[in-house]
Amino acid sequence: MSSLFNWSSLFSNTPITNGTRQLSVNSSTLKNDSQSLISEFEYRRNEIQTSGSSITVTPKKHNYRFKTTLKPKKTGLLLVGLGGNNGSTVIGATIANRNKLSWETRNGTQKANYFGSVTQSTTVHLGWDGSRQIYTPFNSILPMVSPNDLIIDGWDINNANLYEAMKRAHVFEPDLIEQLKPHMETTVPKPSIYYPDFIASNQGSRANNVIHGNCKKEHLEKIRADIREFKEKHGLECVVVLWTANTERYTTVEAGLNMTAEEILTSIDQNKDEISPSNIFAVASILEGAHYINGSPQNTLVPGIIELAQKHQIFIGGDDFKSGQTKLKSALVDFLVTSGLKPESIVSYNHLGNNDGKNLSEARQFRSKEISKSSVVDDMVAANTILFEDGKKPDHCIVIKYVPFVGDSKRAMDEYICSIFMGGHQTLAIHNTCEDSLLAAPLIFDLTIITELCSRIQYASAGTDNDFMAFHSVLSLLSLLLKAPVVPNGTPVGNAFMRQFGALTKLLTACAGIAADTDLQLEFFTKLQ
Query: What is the per-residue pLDDT across 230-241, written as a single tens digit (0 to 9) for each?
Result: 999 999 999 999
Query: What is the per-residue pLDDT across 100-136, written as a single tens digit (0 to 9) for each?
Result: 999 999 999 999 999 999 999 999 999 888 788 889 9
State how far the Cα of 266 lies from the Cα of 279, in Å rounded to an integer. Answer: 13
Range scoring the smallest mean pLDDT among 273-282, 408-417, 439-448, 482-491 = 482-491
Minimal CA–CA distance to 296: which of 30, 26, 484, 498?
484
Q: Check residue 200 and give its pLDDT.
A: 82
Q: State phi, psi for 495 to the nearest 5 degrees.
A: -120, -10
Instruction: Calculate what percentage of the chain has a pLDDT beyond 90.
Output: 69
pLDDT beyond 80 at 32: yes
Q: Check residue 529 and give its pLDDT.
A: 52
Pairing mode, if any, of strands 54-69 and 36-51? Answer: antiparallel
Q: Check residue 523 and give its pLDDT.
A: 73
Query: What is the per-residue pLDDT across 473-506, written as a single tens digit (0 to 9) for each?
Result: 999 999 999 988 888 887 888 888 998 999 999 9
pLDDT band, residue 53 (cuts 50/70/90): confident
Highest mean pLDDT of the ranges 1-10, 14-23, 191-200: 191-200
pLDDT beyond 80 at 52: yes
What kind and span of H or E run contains 289? Answer: none
Q: Which superfamily is assigned to 325-436 in CATH? A: Dihydrodipicolinate Reductase; domain 2 (3.30.360.10)
pLDDT beyond 70 at 311: yes
Domain boundaries, the chain: 3-72+455-524, 325-436
How far is C-alpha 261 from the geometric centre of its chain's CA atoms? 24
Minimal CA–CA distance to 93: which of 165, 139, 167, 147?
147
Query: What is the per-residue pLDDT across 9-26, written as a single tens digit (0 to 9) for each?
Result: 333 333 333 344 578 888
Q: What's the whole-number mean pLDDT along residues 159-186?
A: 96
Cβ distance 448 to 317 under 8 Å?
no
State how far the Cα of 344 lies from the Cα of 388, in Å rounded to an integer. Answer: 10
Query: What is the per-residue pLDDT across 337-396, written as a single tens digit (0 to 9) for each?
Result: 999 999 999 999 988 877 777 776 667 776 766 676 677 888 898 889 899 988 888 999
Q: Which superfamily is assigned to 3-72+455-524 in CATH? A: Glyceraldehyde-3-phosphate dehydrogenase-like domain (3.30.2360.10)
Cβ distance 487 to 472 under 8 Å?
no
Range scoring the smallest mean pLDDT among 79-88, 194-203, 443-452 = 194-203
More confident residue, 398 or 81: 81
Cβ distance 345 to 416 under 8 Å?
yes
- pTM (predicted TM-score): 0.91
Q: What's the whole-number mean pLDDT along residues 302-308?
A: 97
CA angle 82–441–289, rounded 5-degree value: 60
State how far the Cα of 155 lies from the Cα of 243, in Å rounded to an integer. Answer: 10
State how far the Cα of 230 lies from the Cα of 245, in Å rounded to an integer. Answer: 19
**Nearest-10 crossing angle of helices 497-511, 325-338:** 90
Q: Check residue 326 and give its pLDDT.
A: 87
More confident residue, 493 or 196: 196
**Nearest-10 crossing angle of helices 85-98, 174-184:** 90
Q: Check residue 3 and give its pLDDT.
A: 42
Indicate which residues carry an active-site annotation: 320, 369, 410, 483
Total number of residues shown for the chain: 529
Q: Check residue 90 and give its pLDDT.
A: 97
Q: What is the mean pLDDT of the chain?
A: 90
